[in-house]
A = this chain, B = another copy of it.
Amino acid sequence: METTNSIGTYLIEKLYQNGAHHVFGVPGDFVLGFNKLLEDSQIEFINTCDEQGAGFAADAYARLKGLGAVCITYSVGGLKIANTTAQAFAEKSPVVVISGSPGTNERIKNPLLHHKIRNFDTQYNIFKELTVASTVLDNPKTAFEEIDRVLAAAKRYKRPVYIEIPRDMVNKPGNIDYSLDLQPQVSNPEALAEVLREAANKINAAKQPVILAGVEMHRFGLQEELLKLVEKTNIPIAETLLGKSTISEMHPNYIGIYEGAMGNKFTREYVESSDCLIMLGTFLSDVNLGIFTANLEPKYSIYVTSEKTSVGFHSYDEVYLKDFVLGSLKANIHPRELNVPNDFKPPRDFSVISGKPITIARLFECLNSFLSKDTIVIADVGDALFAGSELFVYDKTRFLSPAYYASLGFAVPASIGAQFANSSVRPLVLVGDGAFQMTGMELSTIVRYGLNPIVIVLNNGGYGTERPILDGAFNDILLWKYSRIPEVLGAGLGFDIQTEDELETALLQSQTHSESFCILDIHLDPEDTSPALKRLSRALGERVQN
Contact = CB atoms under 8 A, between A and B. Distances in A.
B129 A476 contact: no
B29 A544 contact: yes
Given A283-B112, A480-B489, A487-B481, A167 B117 contact: no
A523 interface: no
A350 interface: no
A207 to B, nearest CB: 30
Contacts of A168: 546
A83 to B, nearest CB: 4
Contacts of A114: 285-287, 404-406
Nearest to A90: B117
B167 A544 contact: yes
A80 B438 CA distance: 11
Contact of A488 (B79, B113, B172, B485): B485
Contact of A129 (B35, B117, B487): B117
Given A480-B488, A546-B168, A438 B474 contact: no
Contact of A487 (B90, B479, B487, B490): B487
B111 A292 contact: yes
Q: How many copies of the shown chain assemble into the complex?
A: 2
A538 interface: no
Interface residues of A, number: 95
A481 B475 contact: no
A342 interface: no
Contacts of A125: 129
Interface string A112-143: 11111110001001100110000000000000
B103 A130 contact: no
Interface string A151-191: 00000000000000001111110000000000000000000
Interface string A380-391: 000000000000
Given A114-B285, A489-B480, A408 B76 contact: yes
Interface string A386-418: 000000000000000000111111000000000
Which residue of A49, A168, A407 has the most chain B CB atoms within 10 A of its CB atom? A49
Interface in A14-66: 27-29, 32-33, 35-36, 38-39, 45, 47, 49-50, 52
A50 B437 contact: yes
A309 B447 CA distance: 54
Interface string A80-106: 101100110110000000000001011
16 contacts: A33-B544, A45-B473, A47-B474, A47-B477, A49-B437, A50-B52, A52-B80, A82-B82, A82-B83, A111-B285, A111-B286, A112-B284, A117-B130, A444-B478, A444-B480, A488-B488
Given A47-B476, A89-B117, A117-B405, 14 more contacts: A29-B544, A35-B472, A35-B474, A75-B83, A80-B82, A80-B83, A82-B83, A112-B285, A118-B130, A125-B129, A437-B444, A444-B480, A478-B490, A487-B487
Q: Which 6 A-B pairs have the closest CB atoms?
A: A79-B83, A112-B285, A168-B546, A49-B437, A82-B82, A76-B407
